[in-house]
Amino acid sequence: MGIRLGCIADDFTGATDLANNLVRAGMRVVQLIDVPQDGAGRTVDADAVVIALKSRTTPAPEAVEASLRALDWLRSTGAEQIYFKYCSTFDSTRAGNIGPVTEALMDALGTDFTVATPAFPDNGRTVFKGHLFVGDVLLSESGMRHHPLTPMTDSNLVSVLGAQSTRPVGLIDHTVVAAGAGAIRARVDELRKEGVGTAIVDAVSNDDLVRLGAAVRELPLVTAGSGLAIGLPANWGFEPSPAAARLPSPGGHRAIVSGSVSTATNGQVLEFLRGGRPAFGVDPLRIAAGEDVAGRALAFAASHLADGPVLVYSTEAPDAVKNVQGRLGVAEAGELVEQTLARVAQGLVDLGVRQLVVAGGETSGAVVQALGITGLRIGPQIDPGVPWCAADLPDGQTLHITLKSGNFGGPDFFTASFAHLDRDAHLDRDARLDRDARLDRDAHLDGETA
């Protein structure tokens, strides 16, 4: 069975979010970091592939070019439907990039119609009468109105997308969606006749997304946040199953690398330290002074890895971070710490770490790049939106890795994530034992009747 769904996500964590939802709906998913070079990996064994781009805030022509490259690659795998994934707060400007990318994909796919909905009710994103709500307030009244790159001051998605599109934008409203897939399809036919290119679709519940998913089965292109992933896999007969999230058995040492300075991560580091577990604090000022901080962190890790997970962290409370940033510069401090932690991650893998938790969005990007990881198989979810993944290292070994951005996860996330992997390995072993027992019994019964 080949690739069913080919997805193009406009940023990395958004890609993981979508991949995670698809896995939970029963598809086996591989997430690729950027478009593979020279056709590498075209034979990827999965039901869906998500290509993570960084096209949310680049100039529109660049976003279009990258998205079309991703489309070409996905089509070469035989993907039957394309899913363009953007943020559930519809992050964009008048120049794009949601409208221009959508229309470029439509042209390349030779289709005159698609749908658009950022709705993700489980995360408090709902669309009603074309207006996007974030929790209980309109998008334009949410924190998104102050976003530095993509301030969202209009909640009416028909007008937001209309301003970015050359074709008319329409609406499939909640009364139609509530009436089911047949009614949605009939409305699509009407809108198509009126010359509408993209229709914003209302959705206030998961049921709405399931109905929409069934209705858009024949569309070559769908565009959405990660919510629509709830409704699509059933079109190919997939249903939720732990098998979709199965990863190879984990092995090796365990470590955590944390470069996130967010509140949640500060709590997680404190909790880990309170448990008296081995931890090495990375001081940016020492890095700036030319000390071999990564080397010392690795020497510390080498002597503690046998005792369980080792934490290497630069995580500090906001005041300490401000102080460092004041002395070194914000970007310079960030870059120094990211490069050091990336080297630490590389060294940890050389020391035999095969289960790695990384905290911090930017930190994750630096670590993944340093380790030469180009793709992740998405496994079971540890916390909402944060799955364990398995990555092939350049030398062919498997690394279990989870990439936790900023404010995700409860206080015990670090230890809980390893416990999760243990539990999963047990479940997996139990399932294998069950199956072996069944096969034994069947063989025995066969023997009796023979």
Interface with ligand ADP by CB under 6 A: which residues? 259-262, 265, 284, 314, 316, 321, 324-325, 333-334, 337-338, 360-363, 405-406
Q: Give min distance, CB of 296 to ligand ADP, in A.
A: 16
Q: Give min distance, CB of 299 to ligand ADP, in A.
A: 21
Q: Give min distance, CB of 56 to ligand ADP, in A.
A: 15
248: left (phi over 0), alpha (psi -120 to 50) or beta: beta
User: What angle is formed at CA 48 by the lines to CA 84 and CA 407, rounded to 5 degrees?
Assistant: 65
Sheet architecture: strand order including 125-128: 125-128, 131-134, 137-138
Indicate the residue among 250 and 284 with the shorter CB distance to ligand ADP.
Answer: 284
Indicate the residue among 77 and 314 with the shorter CB distance to ligand ADP.
Answer: 314
Using DSSP's 3-state secondary structure scheme, residue 175 falls into helix
Indicate the residue among 231 and 334 with the shorter CB distance to ligand ADP.
Answer: 334
Q: Are 20 and 385 in contact (CB under 8 A)?
A: yes
Q: Give min distance, CB of 266 to ligand ADP, in A.
A: 9
Q: Are 378 and 387 in contact (CB under 8 A)?
A: yes
Q: Give min distance, CB of 259 to ligand ADP, in A.
A: 4
Residue carrying structure tokens 């109105």: 145
Q: Give min distance, CB of 343 to ligand ADP, in A.
A: 13
Indicate the residue among 184 and 287 with the shorter CB distance to ligand ADP.
Answer: 287
Indicate the residue among 170 and 360 with the shorter CB distance to ligand ADP.
Answer: 360
Indicate the residue among 247 and 333 with the shorter CB distance to ligand ADP.
Answer: 333
- Residues 6+ positions from 146 with CB-CB distance below 8 Å: none
DSSP 8-state symbol, 123: G
| Cβ-proximal residue to ligand ADP, closest one | 360
Q: Residue 17 pairs with which residues in a beta bridge?
A: none
Whole-angstrom distance, CA of residue 321 vs CA of residue 360: 14
Indicate the residue among 216 and 321 with the shorter CB distance to ligand ADP.
Answer: 321
Indicate the residue among 214 and 288 with the shorter CB distance to ligand ADP.
Answer: 288
DSSP 8-state symbol, 197: S
User: What's the start-to-end Cα distance of the chain, in Å?
Assistant: 36
Q: Give min distance, CB of 331 to ligand ADP, in A.
A: 8
- Residues 6+ positions from 198 with CB-CB distance below 8 Å: 99, 102, 113, 114, 115, 116, 161, 165, 167, 169, 170, 223
Query: Residue 176's closest CA among 193, 159, 191, 198?
Result: 191
Q: Give min distance, CB of 334 to ligand ADP, in A.
A: 3
Whole-angstrom distance, CA of residue 132 vs CA of residue 155: 5
Q: Give min distance, CB of 416 to ligand ADP, in A.
A: 18
DSSP 8-state symbol, 18: H
Helix axes 157-164, 98-109, angle to 10 degrees: 70
What would the two tokens of residue 375 be?
Answer: 């793709």
Indicate the residue among 63 and 312 with the shorter CB distance to ligand ADP.
Answer: 312
